[in-house]
Amino acid sequence: MTWQRGSSRIDELLAEGRLEHVGGAAAEGASLLASAHGLIASAMRESTSNPEAAFVLAYDASRKACAALLAQQGLRTTSAGHHVTTEAVVRAQFGGPFDTFGNLRRRRSEIEYPRHPGDAVTTAEAADAIDQAQVMLQAATELIGRLTIYRA
């Protein structure tokens, strides 16, 4: 099914060149979901010994879960601002469990490009990121089979 909620936003992003249509193997989200599951498992293993790595892995898992939904619809972000575009798509179309993606994205950016020395990721923060990523991954897993190629 083509997801009607958020379709005007998707059309805008396509017109702006921030999204593009893809086909063939690129329009299959299952491999991205499998990768996201692996990243969650890695994040869980790192959560107490390396909370920063766990947070980044949890973010990457959530991003891949979101990208799987786009791929399943024959959509892919273009290189400029692709994480922000991914957020815009999943929030416009699905909302709910994907509304926290932006917070994870912004915090991941702070971790990668720190402005404040000593602003370390805590074990609790990593655990929370893992929980949020698991919710998004579960939602994506439930949604993906209901999606078809997005109308042109």
Are residues 52 and 111 in contact, defined by beta-carbon separation less than 8 angstroms?
yes
pTM reported for the whole predicted model: 0.92
Q: In the CATH scheme, what is the code of domain 7-144?
A: 1.20.120.330
**Residue 3 Ramachandran class (φ > 0 left, ψ -120 to 50 alpha, else beta):** beta
Domain spans, the chain: 7-144
Given the DSSP bridges, would you call strands 75-77 and 19-21 parallel, antiparallel or unpaired?
Answer: antiparallel
For 127-146, the pLDDT digits (tens) are 999 999 999 999 999 999 99
| pLDDT of amino acid 63 | 96
Least Cα distance to 53 among 120, 118, 131, 102 occurs for 120
Q: What is the predicted pLDDT for the residue at 151?
A: 79
